[in-house]
Structures are given as C-alpha cells and as structure tokens.
C-alpha cells in the first residue's frame, strides 16, 4: 500500500510540474496580434493584423477528424520537416477554418518572411497570407469537440444578430493550448465581420 501511495504521489507531482511548465512556456509563445475594438456581454470585436500562416487544407468537415491529422502535418514542418531541417518556433493559437473542408493554420513567427521560409517536405503545406481583418470572437474553456464548437458558433451568431452586427460566412476555431495541457484551457470561435462594421462600431 505504501508503494502505491508513493507512485501516486510521484505521478501527481509530475502532472503538476508539467502543467506549471506549460503555463510558464505559454507566456513566451508568440501570438496572433490583435486590438480589442469593443467588448460586449459574451463576445468582443477585434482588429487583427495582416499575418502569414503555414496551412494545410484537409478533406474533413469537422474538428475531431481534422485536428490531429492537420496538427501532425504542420508540426512536422516546424519541427524540421523541411528542406533545410530548420526548426521554427511554435506560435499560438492554432487556427482552423470552419468550412466544408477544414484548413488548419499555424502562424509564422514575425521574424520570418514568406520568401525565406524553407520549403516543406510535404507538398500539401502552403504559405497563406491572411489580410488584416475585423472579427467577433467568443471564448470557451475546457476540451474542444465538434459539438462545443458548433454550440459557441451558434451563440456568437445569435449575439451578433441581437446587436445588429453584420458578419460574413468566414468562421474559424482558435485553440490556444497543447493537447497535454489541462489547466486554463482556452478556445475561441471567431467570424470575420463585414467591412463597414468597424467604422460603425468606432463611432458609437
């Protein structure tokens, strides 16, 4: 019994150490830059900068099927799966377009330029320039699933309709945590807003 308790204690200590390490490391990860334009009751409007991403278009319609496959492909590239065997820093969040076929995207660190990035070993990886955009974002915690993403997507749509804010059909899921992180998990669903919305909101 004493040995079992010792093993449990070691496992708990290791779990806590891993969670504390990942929480600390998360602070040093470069993130997708934006400014908050206005906060509402359960969502906020943001302005994102134009940003470069690595991307992989996947033959799946739902988060569960696309997340692990897309992550492994793009992570392989930044961990050295390219013609120069160059490692590229991980960034946050991981983005996934919510369309008929999902595209997963990793933000490229700002110090890199499209012209100088090493060529991926896997031909399906592309470099995608996301233009500056205005979005509405709703956040939720815990582990993501197809059902939770659809739930918060609907909540965001309903909230925008109540406020009379015009939006496009360009929805994305943003995931901020590594798979093994348990504490303080953060997820978001965002949608691009129509161009004229920003001017209207800023004059309110």
Residues 122 and 83: beta-carbon distance below 8 Å? no
Percent of the chain residues topping a pLDDT of 90: 71
pTM for this predicted structure: 0.84
Q: What is the CATH number of the domain that holds 138?
A: 3.20.80.10
Bridge partner residues of 133 (DSSP): 48
Residue 41: which of 159, 189, 164 has the closest Cα? 159
Q: Are residues 105 and 165 in the same domain?
A: yes
* Structure-token match 């997820």, residue found: 187
Q: How many angstroms separate the CA atoms of 114 and 86, rounded?
A: 14
Q: What is the mean pLDDT of the chain?
A: 87
Q: Are residues 24 and 104 in the same domain?
A: no
Q: Are residues 172 and 84 in the same domain?
A: yes
Bridge partner residues of 48 (DSSP): 34, 133
pLDDT digits (tens, 9 = 90+) for 12-65: 444 344 444 444 445 568 999 999 999 999 999 999 999 999 999 999 888 888
């Amino acid at each position: 019994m004493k040995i079992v308790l010792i093993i449990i204690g070691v496992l708990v200590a290791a779990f806590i150490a891993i969670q504390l390490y990942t929480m600390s490391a998360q602070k040093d990860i470069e993130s997708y830059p934006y400014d908050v334009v206005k906060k509402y009751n359960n969502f906020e409007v943001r302005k994102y900068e134009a940003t470069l991403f690595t991307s992989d278009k996947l033959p799946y319609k739902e988060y569960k099927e696309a997340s692990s496959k897309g992550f492994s492909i793009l992570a392989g590239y930044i961990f050295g799966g390219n013609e120069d065997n160059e490692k590229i820093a991980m960034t946050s969040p991981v983005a996934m377009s919510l369309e008929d076929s999902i595209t997963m995207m990793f933000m490229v660190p700002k110090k890199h330029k499209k012209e100088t990035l090493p060529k991926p070993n896997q031909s399906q990886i592309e470099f995608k320039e996301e233009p500056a955009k205005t979005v509405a974002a709703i956040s939720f915690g815990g582990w993501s699933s197809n059902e939770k993403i659809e739930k918060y997507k609907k909540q965001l749509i309903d909230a925008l309709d109540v406020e009379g804010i015009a939006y496009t059909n360009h929805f994305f899921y943003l995931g901020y945590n590594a798979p093994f992180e348990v504490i303080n998990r953060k997820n978001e669903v965002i949608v691009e807003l129509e161009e004229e919305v920003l001017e209207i909101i800023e004059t309110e």
